[in-house]
Structure 1
Amino acid sequence: MRVLVLGGTGAIGSHLCRLLAGRGCTVVCTTRRGGKASCGVDYVVGDAKDPVFLGGLLEEHWDAIVDFMVWSTAEFRERYRGFLASTGQYVFTSSYRVYADVPVIREDSPRLLDVVDDDEYLATDEYALCKARCEDILFGSGSSNWTIVRPAVTYDGANGRFQLGVFELGDWIWRAEKGVPVPMPREILRKQATMTSGADVAEMISRLVGNPDARGEAFTASGSDHMAWGDVADVYAAVLPLRVVECSLPAFERQRGSVYQVRYDRMLNRVVDNSKVLAATGIDGKNLTPMREGLVRELGAFLETGRKPECSFGFQGKMDCLCGGFASLVPVVRDGGLLAAGKYAVRRAMAGIAK
């Protein structure tokens, strides 16, 4: 098969490209950063959101296109016909975040777009709503040569992807390594999260590519186990000195932002029934990476690389406010980040003293 992978250099796509190439597929992957052909994968440098660049790729016919790009609803509406016309199977990467609050997520569970009554939220094209709207475009396309995949939260050592609630790795790991507490609302710490190895999700998608039973179907791609975000923090703490302190939810929303992600995802228990994707792909759930074991192994592997995610010192100042002090001031100065932070630490410290 000839497979085009759009934006396939992340926690799932990088594994998927290697898997498909290892099974004899001709794999072409778009990237903005550049890359040499490796493991049977050819990298084409360009922005898949550039209509000229994308149009050139879609002039060819592909047996499958796997799309990891994040499109706005308007962007997707302009492009979906080209995707469907250029391939035998278009695999659209959606998200488990499309689902509303249910005890157990299944593919036929209600979506936020269909049941939420928050008019202010519905007026946005926020990630979960946008993905659901793009799904609806495919549902109403009149074609069936598409497959929708809704991955749960993924983690991966090679790509440095380790989430903690709404925090990405760069948000929390600097604080952990400097002995500075990470603020999290108790309400989020108690919610259940399903986190899956990026390699496992890639394996699922690779078995959906070219699979006739996947045409015109949606699948939730996830592991089989889950745990509370507080337990996720404890797993991370077994690998590096992470300390979490509880903070006010309203204050957290004000300082952290990502309000809709908090309210319509991390404040919901996310337990997934993955039986449909396992049945379609023939994967034995016992062979999936256990969540606790995988997080420890992958985080340890990442730390061994010595890579340091970019740290926003201004953001760290906001997090200090949620911890009831200015705990990051000393390490910020030590790391030479005071000027980069716009002198946030001094200003906030002075404001705190004045109060």
Structure 2
Amino acid sequence: MVDSVRGRALLLGGTGAMGSHLTRMLARDGWNVTVTSRSNRSSDNPRVSYVRGDAHDRRFLTDMLSQGWDVVVDFMVWSTDAFRGVCDSLLSSCRQYVFLSSYRVFADSPVIDERSPRLLDVSNDAGYLATDEYALAKARQEDLLKTSERGNWTIVRPAITYSVGRLQLCTLECGDWLTLALAGHAVPLPAEMLSRQTTMTWGGDVALMISRLVESKRALGEDYDVCTSRHQSWTEVVRIYRSLLPLEVRKVSLNAYERACGSPWQCRYDRMYNRVMDNSKVLAATGLTESDLADPADGLAAAAVDTLRRGTPTPAGMRRLGRLDRLGGGLFGPAAYMQVASASCTGYAKYLAGRLMG
């Protein structure tokens, strides 16, 4: 650890797959790092402190921003209206504001770079555009930054980011698909989606790229796709997982899968596209090369091993788990269900309700 202090960094909601890595990297590089979290956390690193609170609470956010920061990295998920209300406060609180957007803002393109068309700008789906779905919200918030009077922002767009306990399979997080797979139940997935290309990046590599952009004058007023350029089909992702654990896939229709998941937008306007990324801009800005980033085959396998060692995460929702299990042809009996993470009698009733209602 370096002795001199480079500055003070605030990470809003920075305890997830990217934020936890970024906290360690910034502290190692000489930053004093404060991280907001909705749960109590402690640190044995003198350069890292945690403050309990929800940055969506305006009073809490105002108090945190008023302390003055060199860098603010924002991992929060905002509605567009909420972000509009706090955008100026975020920008005025620091010398550099790093906004976590998403590669999902982009429309279907053979290869995606920072100049590729966004869904917000080219979609003709009036029903979709009337929503504030995640991809649209991120794009609208990017526009609020770009049209602000301040230019001290940096937009970063991760692609799918994996880490321990965060292993995606099509639109499913591992709390859902891993729960089914380890119980010997088939995981329902759309046949069309399995053939699509996806870009998956280790959370530590995303954090590394962001850490190299922090306090970079060249990065002010710029946007970067922070990801690997390596890509593979979802069928190949299945193969990687299957090499480490029992995973049976049941191919289903896209419509049935959308109903079970509960929302069509991520399926139609992301996972059904071939997501091949060009990361040359961020590599040039950070001095990194593709060989500095983890190969997805190795990284996913390592993250899966660590996830299995630590235990399966909680499913996203018990009703949804029931709908997915029905679609896959499985059924948890009462005793088997009680082995599911965070199982309860109420949860089992929700699971059965989801499975019966489809």
TM-score category by the smaller chain? over 0.9
Unaligned runs of 5+ in 2: 1-6
Give the corresponding residue for 2:289. 284
**More displaced, 226-235 or 4-13?**
226-235
Task: Please give the residue correspondences for 1:187-198 in structure 2 after superposition, counting only pairs within 5 Å.
Answer: 187-198=192-203
Are residues 1:308 and 2:312 paired?
A: yes
SS in 2 for 1:262: helix
CA distance 1:251–1:51, change in 2 (3 Å): same
Structure 1 position 258, deviation (Å): 2.4
Matched, 1:55 2:76: no
Partner of 1:100: 107
| SS at 1:342 equivalent | helix
Which deviations, in whole Å up to 9, do the C-alpha atoms of 1:260-314 show, x marking residues without a partner?
A: 0000001111000000000001112111100000000111012122x23124443
- Provide the residue aligned with 2:148 in structure 1: 141
What is the RMSD of the two structures over their aligned residues, measured on CA atoms?
A: 1.9
CA distance in 2, matches of 1:153, 1:232: 12
Q: 1:348 to 1:66 in 2, by over 3 A?
A: closer
How far the C-alpha of 1:326 sits from its partner, in A, is 3.6
Aligned partners of 2:43, 2:275: CA distance in 1, in Å? 38
Q: Deviations over 1:132-178 (max 9, x none)?
A: 00000001002210000000000111xx1111111011111111111
CA contact (8 A) 1:316 1:328 kept: no
For 2:182 and 2:158, locate their aligned partners in 1 and report how far apart those are by CA, in whole Å.
Answer: 29
Aligned to 2:4: none
Q: Is the 8 A contact 2:322 2:353 kept in 1?
A: no
Deviation larger for 108-117 or 240-249: 240-249
Deviation at 1:16, TM superposition (A): 0.2
1:16 aligns with 2:45: no
Q: Distance in 2 between matches of 1:253 and 1:198?
A: 27
2:10 equivalent in structure 1? 4
Residue 319 of structure 1 deviates from its aligned partner by 1.4
Distance in 2, matches of 1:328 and 1:246, equals 20
Instruction: After TM superposition, list the pairs within 5 Å mapping 1:112-123 onto structure 2.
Output: 112-123=119-130
CA distance in 2, matches of 1:154, 1:224: 13
1:199-219 residue CA offsets vs partner (Å, 9 max, x unmatched): 000000001000111000000
Q: 1:300 to 1:216 in 2, by over 3 A?
A: same
CA distance in 1, matches of 2:238, 2:212: 32
Distance 1:4 1:348, change over 3 A: closer
Q: Distance in 2 between matches of 1:343 and 1:92?
A: 37
Structure 1: distance between partners of 2:31 and 2:179: 40
TM-score, with normalisation over the residues of structure 2? Answer: 0.92
Instruction: Return the offset for 1:339.
Output: 5.6
Matched residues in 1 for 2:219 and 2:355: separation?
54
Unaligned runs of 5+ in 1: none
Give the residue type in structure 1 aligned to 2:10: L
Name the SS of the counterpart of 2:348 in structure 1. coil
CA positional deviation for 1:331? 6.5
Structure 1 position 216 matched with structure 2 position 221: yes
Structure 1 equivalent of residue 34 of structure 2: 28
Would the aligned equivalents of 1:166 and 1:258 in 2 still touch at CA under 8 Å?
no
Alignment check: 8 A CA contact 2:174 2:312 kept: no
**What fraction of aligned residue pairs are identical, expressed as a percent?**
50
- CA gap of 1:347–1:188, structure 2 versus 1, over 3 A, is closer
Q: CA separation in 2, counterparts of 1:241 and 1:162?
A: 15
Supply the AA of the counterpart residue of 2:314.
E
Instruction: Figure out how many residues of one structure are paired with residues of the other and give that number.
Output: 347
Structure 1 residues 13 and 348: alpha-carbon distance in aligned structure 2, compared to 1, 3 A threshold: closer
Partner SS, residue 27 of structure 1: strand
